[in-house]
Structure 1
Amino acid sequence: MPFSEPGKTKFQVDLRRHLREQQIGDNLVHLICEIAEASKYVINAVRTGDLGVAGTSNLYGEEQLALDVLSDRIMRKRLIHSGVVCNIASEEMDEIFQAQADAAGLYSVAYDPLDGSSLVDVNLAVGTIVSIYEGCNLLQKGRNQVAAMYILYGPRVSLVYSVGKGVHEFTMNHLMEYTLTRENITMNSEGNIYSPGGLRNKYNAGDEKFVRYLEDRGAKLRYSGGFVPDINQVLMKGKGIFMYPALNGSPNGKLRILFELNAMAYLVEHAGGAATNGRQPLLDIEPVSLDQRAPVYIGCKNDVKKAMEFLAEA
C-alpha cells in the first residue's frame, strides 16, 4: 500500500523479494543480489580504507587510488564466484576477463567500481555503475541490456536498478539490508536543474547557447563532479539535465559508453527521460572498443530535445 507521497511504499520490501516480483530469471536475481552484497564491502572500504595512491594507472592513464583497486577487486571476486557470469569488463582493467566459458543462462557485466573516486578524500559522494547483458558479448548496444543499476555511497547508501520494468530505489538500513524506498520513479518532461561537465570555455557554440538558454530560463546549476550523484539528483527529483559535451580538443567528451553511459541511459529512459550524444540515442550506439567515449545529454525529454536543437543549429 503506497504512502500519500507518490513513489514511496509503506511496508518494507527487500531487494530479493522485489526482484522476484519482476518475473525475471533466477540467475539474474542472483546476480543483482550478489552485486548488492559486494557494495556493502565497497562502502566499508570507502568509509575506512586507505586514501593513498595505489601506485598504478588504469588503461586511460588516470591515477588509480587504492580504493579504486580495492573496489574493483571486491566487485570482480563477487562476480566470478556468483557462478552466473561469463565475461567481465571493468574500467580498471585493460581487457575483458573471462570468468567461465559461455553457456546458457549466463550474463556479462561491465562496471565502474568506484566512479568519482577522486572525490573520496574531500568526502563527497561516489558510486558504482553496472551494466548487465545476456550472454558473453559486451560490445553491443546499450539497448540490449537486461538490467542496469548504480549504487550511491553518500550520507545514505542507495541502490537504483531497472530490469526494463520501471526504475526503483532501495536504501541500505542499519542492518546493511536494502529495502524499497521509491518504486516506479518517473521524470518530468522538463526541469529546472542543469549539471554541466567540462570547461565551459571549451564548449562549442551550440552547447554555449544551450547553457545560456537554461540560465535565462532560471535553471539552477547543480554539479558535484561525480556522475553517480549528479544523475541521482536528476533522477530522484525527476527533473533536470546532465551534460558532458564534446569539447574543443576532446570531441568525444569524457565519459565511457560501456562503463558509465549505457547504464545511466537505460535507467533514465525507463524513467521516462532521454539520453543522447547530441545526434542519436546513447542506447543505439554499438561500441567497438572498451574505452569508447561519447558526449552525453541525459535527463528530461524536452531538455534533451532542446539541447539537440541548439547543436543542430550550430
Structure 2
Amino acid sequence: MPAAPGTSKFQIELRRHLRGQNISDNLVHLICEIAEASKYVINAVRTGDLGVAGTSNLYGEEQLALDVLSDRIMRKRLIHSGVVCNIASEEMDEIYQAQASADGLYSVAYDPLDGSSLVDVNLAVGTIVSIYEGCDLLQPGRNQVAAMYILYGPRVSLVYTVGDGVHEFTMNNLMEFTLTRENIRMQEEGNIYAPGGLRNKYNDGDEQFIRHLEAKGCKLRYSGGFVPDINQVLMKGKGIFMYPALKGSPNGKLRVLFELNPMAFIIEHAGGSASNGNIPILDIVPESLDQRAPIYIGCKADVKAATDFLAEHKGVPAAAASFVNG
C-alpha cells in the first residue's frame, strides 16, 4: 500500500494498511483485535510471574504461568471480537466454539506464547496465529486467509500476510503498530541455518545436509525459539530453519496447526518454501489438533537441498551414508 503524499511509510498504522489489502471488514477487525491483545501479552511478559502454573497442556508439557495468562488474554479477545466462531489454542485440549454460525466469521488457531521457557533467561518469544474462513480448522494450511506472528524481543514486531505480500509493523512508544517493512522477500539461497533437535538423533539425510551447509560456510544461528529464528531468516531474507524427524520422534516436535501452517504461509508468500521433507507443509491435511511434522523452511534452494539429501539417503545405513559423502 503506497503512502499518501507527504506521509512516510513509517507512519502507516496497521488498520489503515489492512484496509488497503482488499479483505473483509471482519478480517481487518480480527487482525487488529489480535494486535491489541498482544499489547497485554507483552505487558505480562515484562511484568508477570515467571513461576509454574501447576497445570499441564494436552501434550503433557508443564504450563508456565505466562502460558496460561497469555492464552487467557488472547482467547478472551477473540471471543469478544464478534467475528470468530471456533478457537484452537496450543494450551487447550479441544476446540472452543465462540459462536455457532460460520456466516462471515473466522476460525483461529494460535500458540499464545511460543518459547515461553525462554522468558526467564530474557530471550525473545512470540505469538503465532493462523486464520481460516468458517468453522473448519482441520484443513490444509494453504486454505488460510491470513497468518501472523508477534515477536516480543528488544522491539515488539508484528508480521502478517493475507496472501498479498508479507509486511512488518513495529510497536512504537505509544504502543501503536506502524509499518517498518513492506513486501518482504526471501532470496533464492541463504548462508545461515537454524537446526532444532539433538544432532545425535538426526537421520542420515539430515546429518549429511548439515555437513553440506557447514562445508558451504553457512553460519549457525539458533536461539531455541521458533518465532525469533523464523523472524531472523525472514528479515535477513536468507537461510533455513529446520526441525527434522528424530530417532525416536519421527514427526519432530512442532505442531502443524499452531506453528507450521502459519509460518509456512508467511514464508511462502515472501517467496520462500516450507516442506516436511516430502510434501509442502501447506498441503498437509491435519487429522488432529496435536499433529506434528518435521519442517524445513526458508529459502527455496536451501529447502530443496534438504529434501534432496533426505531422498538420497532414505534407507541408507549410517556407515554407507558416511562413505558415500567421503
Verify same fold: TM over 0.5: yes
State the aligned residue count.
308
1:263 aligns with 2:262: yes
Counterpart amino acid of residue 87 in structure 2: I
Q: Deviations over 1:279-314 (max 9, x none)?
A: 000000000000000000000000000000000001
Equivalent residue, structure 1, for 2:310? 311
Does residue 296 in structure 1 map to residue 299 in structure 2?
A: no
Q: How many angstroms apart in 1 are the aligned matches of 2:10 and 2:296?
A: 36
Matched, 1:230 2:229: yes
Distance across 1 between alignment mates of 2:71 and 2:101:
23
State the 1:54 CA deviation: 0.2
**1:139-288 → structure 2 map (5 Å cutoff):** 139-288=138-287
Structure-1 separation of matches of 2:105 and 2:227: 27
Counterpart Cα distance in 2 of 1:61 and 1:157: 30
Instruction: State the alpha-carbon separation in 1 of the partners of residues 305 and 250 from structure 2.
Output: 20
| TM alignment of 1:66-105, pairs within 5 A | 66-105=65-104
Deviations 1:169-205 (A, max 9, x none): 0000000000000000000000000000000000000
| Structure 1: distance between partners of 2:281 and 2:243 | 13
Structure 2 partner of 1:6: none
Deviation for aligned residue 1:10: 4.1
Could you tell me which runs of 5 or more consecutive residues in structure 1 were left unpaired when the two chains were aligned. Answer: 3-8
Residues 254 and 294, structure 2, Cα contact 8 Å, conserved in 1: yes
User: C-alpha offsets along residues 264-289 of structure 1, whole Å, 9 cap, x if unaligned?
Assistant: 00000000000000000000000000
TM-score, normalising length: structure 1: 0.97
Answer whether contact 2:10 2:178 (CA < 8 A) is retained.
no
Name the aligned partner's letter for residue 121 of structure 2.
Answer: V
- Partner amino acid for 1:42? V
Distance 2:30 2:132 in 1: 11
CA distance in 2, matches of 1:259, 1:245: 17
| Deviation readout 1:94-128 (Å, 9 max, x if unpaired) | 00000011231100000000000000000000000
| Paired residue type of 1:215 | E
Contact 2:9 2:179 in 1 (8 A): no
CA gap of 1:11–1:170, structure 2 versus 1, over 3 A, is closer
User: Residue type of the partner of 2:139?
Assistant: Q
- Distance in 2 (CA, whole Å) between partners of 1:77 and 1:239 is 37
Identity %: 85
CA distance in 2, matches of 1:198, 1:165: 33
CA distance in 1, matches of 2:191, 2:306: 14
Counterpart of 2:324 in structure 1 is none
Q: 1: distance between equivalents of 2:102 and 2:272?
A: 35
Determine the structure 2 residue equivalent to 1:131.
Answer: 130
**Residue identity in the other structure for 1:256:** R
Retained in 1: the 8 A contact 2:10–2:180? no
**Residue aligning to 2:27:** 28
1:111 corresponds to:
110
Consecutive aligned runs of 4 or more in structure 1 exceeding 6 Å deviation = none
- Separation in structure 2 between the aligned mates of residue 111 and residue 69 of structure 1, nearest angstrom: 13
Aligned to 2:127, the other structure's residue is in SS state strand
User: Which of these two proteins has the greater Rg computed from alpha carbons?
Assistant: 2
SS in 2 for 1:213: helix
Structure 2: runs of 5+ lacking an equivalent? 314-326
Cα distance, 1:23 vs. partner? 1.1
Rounded Cα–Cα distance in structure 2 between residues aligned with 1:136 and 1:103: 6
For residues 80 and 131 of structure 1, the distance between their equivalents in structure 2, rounded to whole angstroms, comes to: 15
Over the aligned positions, Cα root-mean-square deviation in angstroms equals 0.8
TM-score (norm 2): 0.94
**Secondary structure of 1:292's aligned partner:** coil
Q: Secondary structure at the residue paired with 2:77?
A: helix
Name the residue aligned to 1:38. Answer: 37
Q: 2:201 and 2:22 mapped to 1: Cα distance? A: 47
Residue type of the alignment partner of 2:127:
T
